[in-house]
Structure 1
Amino acid sequence: MHHDQPNNPLHGVKLETIVLELENHYGWEGLAERIPVNCFRNDPSVKSSLKFLRKTPWAREKVEELYVATFSAANPWKKS
């Protein structure tokens, strides 16, 4: 049975979308400053980042937290 998650700000948001929007907002350098992992530091790409984040739960969690903090409804700089 499928349950809606109305209070989950990441519900329905793909990891690729999260990485693309954060990279667009902060750039790879800015992401590496906020989350110091090699996939953002050394020759970064969306593909390599997705591969790393999908197999590294703690890093994915940090990326998701940054996404929510950056683009949450409480943030006045949120994209429309």
Structure 2
Amino acid sequence: MNQQPNDILHGVTLKMILTELEAEYGWEELGRRIEIRCFTHDPCLSSSLKFLRKTPWARDKVEELYLRWKMEADEP
């Protein structure tokens, strides 16, 4: 079986990522960190997920932010 034990994103959905980031930073801060309209103008989970699922470059930025946040949380 091909498992990826070191891949932090393995088994984590985009919805989980966005929910955690929004809880940690809030929409306003997310919009500052990643300047995309779905975070800066009437943000909500469903419209942001719809946009991110069809826009690879934006999804990549969200995943990168999530990974940086998780790495910082793991530091002593």
Same fold (TM over 0.5): yes
Q: How far, CA to CA, are the matches of 1:70 and 1:3 in structure 2?
A: 26
Q: Which moved more, 1:34-43 or 1:2-11?
A: 2-11
Q: How far, CA to CA, are the matches of 1:3 and 1:10 in structure 2?
A: 15
**4+ residue segments displaced more than 2 Å:** none
C-alpha deviation, 1:17, in angstroms: 0.4
User: Partner residue of 1:36?
Assistant: 35
One-letter code aligned to 2:9: L
Alignment root-mean-square deviation, CA: 1.1
One-letter code aligned to 2:40: R
Is 1:22 matched with 2:26? no
TM-score using structure 2 length: 0.91
Structure with greater proportional helix content? 2
TM-score using structure 1 length: 0.87
Unaligned runs of at least 5 residues, structure 1: none
Q: How far, CA to CA, are the matches of 2:2 and 2:31 in structure 1?
A: 35
C-alpha deviation, 1:3, in angstroms: 2.0
C-alpha deviation, 1:4, in angstroms: 1.0
User: Partner residue of 1:61?
Assistant: 60
Q: How far, CA to CA, are the matches of 1:29 and 1:3 in structure 2?
A: 39
User: Partner residue of 1:71?
Assistant: 70
Q: How far, CA to CA, are the matches of 2:55 and 2:34 in structure 1?
A: 13
Q: How far, CA to CA, are the matches of 1:30 and 1:49 in structure 2?
A: 15
